[in-house]
């Protein structure tokens, strides 16, 4: 058994990294939306700290995902129109870019605000920039804009996977799920790793 992605689907490590990042984005995004409307309190400070730690974790996992993808490769595209393959490549590139840009914009916002940045209270990270009120405001706005861009793109990505599964009846969605969760849709789908 090889660790690399087989030609017909995403391997277990790629799937694990994908779904772990999805879960962390949902959690971090929800925290970000909730904590902004909270009154100042120790609970709000704890939620901010958790949001920051999870954001840094996403940044680390995005780096790991990219390195893993470079090592393990990608399965061959599902047969279909060339424009769909190109759009999928573009969408994946944008999603990867956002997985880096959003945490880095948050880190910049935090640094420009002059707040300390810790990862789960285990260690401090350095400031990316010096304290600057104008940069803080800009980075905060960019952070929020990038988040909503990610939400839109992720919904489009999920809708495309469902469209492929339901209407095009191909294995696009099944390839990113553990074997057996969805039955392969194409007649020549491999059932083995």
pLDDT in tens, 94-132: 999 999 999 999 999 999 999 999 999 999 999 999 999
133/75 Cα distance (integer angstroms): 46
Which pTM value belongs to this model? 0.89
Mean pLDDT per segment of 10 residues, for the chain of length 193 residues?
A: 84 96 98 94 96 98 97 92 92 97 98 96 96 98 98 96 92 87 56 36
Distance CA 172, CA 77 (A): 9
By CB atoms closer than 10 A (0-12, 13-18, 19+), residue 155 is exposed
Q: Report pLDDT for 2.
A: 64
**164-179: per-residue pLDDT in tens?**
999 999 989 999 998 7
pLDDT of residue 186: 55
Sequence-ordered strand ranges (E) for the chain: 117-119, 123-125
Measured between alpha carbons, how far is 17 from 94 in angstroms, rounded to an integer? 17
Measuring CA to CA, how many Å separate 107 from each of 42, 72, 102, 173?
A: 21, 30, 9, 33
């Amino acid at each position: 058994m090889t660790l690399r992605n087989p030609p017909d689907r995403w391997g277990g490590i790629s799937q694990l990294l994908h779904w772990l990042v999805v879960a962390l984005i949902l959690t971090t995004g929800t925290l970000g939306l909730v904590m902004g409307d909270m009154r100042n309190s120790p609970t709000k400070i704890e939620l901010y700290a958790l949001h920051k730690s999870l954001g840094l974790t996403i940044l680390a996992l995005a780096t790991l995902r990219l390195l893993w993808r470079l090592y393990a490769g990608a399965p061959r595209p599902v047969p279909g129109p060339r424009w769909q393959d190109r759009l999928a490549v573009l969408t994946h590139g944008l999603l990867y870019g956002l997985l880096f840009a959003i945490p880095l914009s948050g880190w910049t916002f935090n640094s420009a605000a002059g707040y300390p940045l810790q990862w789960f209270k285990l260690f401090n990270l350095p400031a990316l920039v010096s304290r600057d009120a104008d940069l803080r405001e800009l980075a905060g706005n960019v952070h929020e804009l990038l988040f909503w861009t990610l939400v839109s793109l992720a919904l489009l990505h999920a809708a495309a996977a469902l469209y492929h599964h339901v209407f095009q009846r191909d294995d696009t969605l099944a390839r990113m799920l553990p074997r057996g969760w969805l039955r392969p849709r194409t007649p020549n789908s491999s059932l083995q790793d």
